[in-house]
Structure 1
Amino acid sequence: MTTPGPYRIADGSAVAFPDALDAWTPAAPKILTDRARALSTRSGIATRSLLQT
């Protein structure tokens, strides 16, 4: 049985959550933008509004 949480795909070893966030954060904007475009294309609905954070 494996424990929940982030792990390395290459070998299955556990990764501390802060380290996983450090690895995921740089990739997230491009991936999320690509997924949002795909969602808009597939649904036929888009928005001009920007998310305020």
Structure 2
Amino acid sequence: MSSDVLAEELLTAVGEGVGKVVDEHVQRRPWVGVVLKLLYYGVPLGFALFLLNGVYGWM
């Protein structure tokens, strides 16, 4: 096997493991899902607004 295939399999295995742990935490603690959604959507949106404010001087 080439190193690219091994790296891809390793990355896939780690991603599946992390996904399972996150799913378990979200099922046990609903607020974890809210925090993750804030991180996934709120932070990039805030950063985009920050950049747009720098360009257009809205505030």
Q: Please, what TM-score do these two structures have when normalized by structure 2?
A: 0.37
Higher helix share: 2
* Structure number with higher relative contact order (C-alpha < 8 Å, ≥ 6 residues apart): 1
- Structure number with greater Rg is 2
Q: Please, what TM-score do these two structures have when normalized by structure 1?
A: 0.40
